[in-house]
Chain A
Amino acid sequence: MERISCFDSRSEGCKDDKQEMAEDSFEFGDGILMTENLLQEATVPGSSFTALLGLPANQAMELLQDPLSGKPQTVIAPEMWRDSRSGQEDMRYTFNCSPTFPTDAALVERASKFSVFAAAQNSTDKCPVPSNSNENSLKPKSEPADSESNPSSCLVSSDPATPSENQASTKRKEREKKVKVPAKRSKNVENESSKAGEAKDGEKLPYVHVRARRGQATDSHSLAERARREKINARMKLLQELVPGCSKISGTALVLDEIINHVQSLQRQVEFLSMRLAAVTPRIDFSLDSFFAAESGCVTPSSCPSTVTFEPLMWQQQQNQPLWEGDVLQRQMWERDDSHSFLAPENFLFSYNSANSVPLSSNHLKMEL
Chain B
Amino acid sequence: MASPLISNPEASSDRSLESKKKKRKKTANQNPEDPTRWKTRAEQQTYSSKLLEALRQVRRNQPPASPEAPPRGRAVREAADRVLAVAAKGRTRWSRAILTGRLKLKLRKKKPRVAVAGNCRSKKPGASIIRLKEKRLPALQRRVRVLGGLVPGCRKLSFPELLEEATDYIAALEMQVRAMTALTELLSVVGNDAATSSNRSPPN
A residues whose Cβ falls under 8 Å from a Cβ of B: 202, 228, 231-232, 235-236, 238-239, 242-243, 252-253, 256-257, 259-260, 262-264, 266-267, 269-271, 273-288, 290-294, 296-297, 300, 303-304, 307-308, 311, 314-315, 318-319, 321, 323, 328, 331, 334, 341-342, 345, 347-355, 358-359, 361
Contacts and interface: CB of A to CB of B under 8 A. Distances in A.
Contacts, number: 211
Give me the 8 closest cross-chain CB pairs, A-B, nearest first: A274-B77, A235-B163, A287-B194, A266-B173, A256-B143, A273-B180, A274-B76, A283-B191
30 contacts: A232-B159, A235-B167, A239-B167, A242-B167, A252-B140, A253-B140, A256-B140, A256-B143, A259-B166, A266-B170, A271-B77, A276-B184, A277-B187, A278-B75, A280-B188, A284-B187, A284-B190, A291-B197, A294-B198, A296-B1, A300-B4, A307-B12, A318-B44, A331-B181, A331-B185, A345-B186, A347-B12, A350-B12, A352-B45, A355-B13
Interface string B160-204: 100110110111011011101111111111110111011001001
Nearest to A318: B182
A341 B76 CA distance: 25
Interface string B34-63: 010000010011001100100110110000
Contact of A351 (B5, B45, B75, B171): B45
A173 B101 CA distance: 50
Contacts of A361: 56
Interface of B: 1-2, 4-6, 8-16, 35, 41, 44-45, 48-49, 52, 55-56, 58-59, 69, 72-77, 80-81, 118, 139-140, 143-144, 146-147, 150-151, 158-160, 163-164, 166-167, 169-171, 173-174, 176-178, 180-191, 193-195, 197-198, 201, 204
A232 B41 CA distance: 30
Contact of B164 (A235, A296, A297): A235
Contacts of B77: 270-271, 274-275
Given A275-B69, A285-B59, A304 B8 contact: yes
* Residue among B73, B194, B198 having the largest count of chain A Cβ atoms under 10 Å: B194
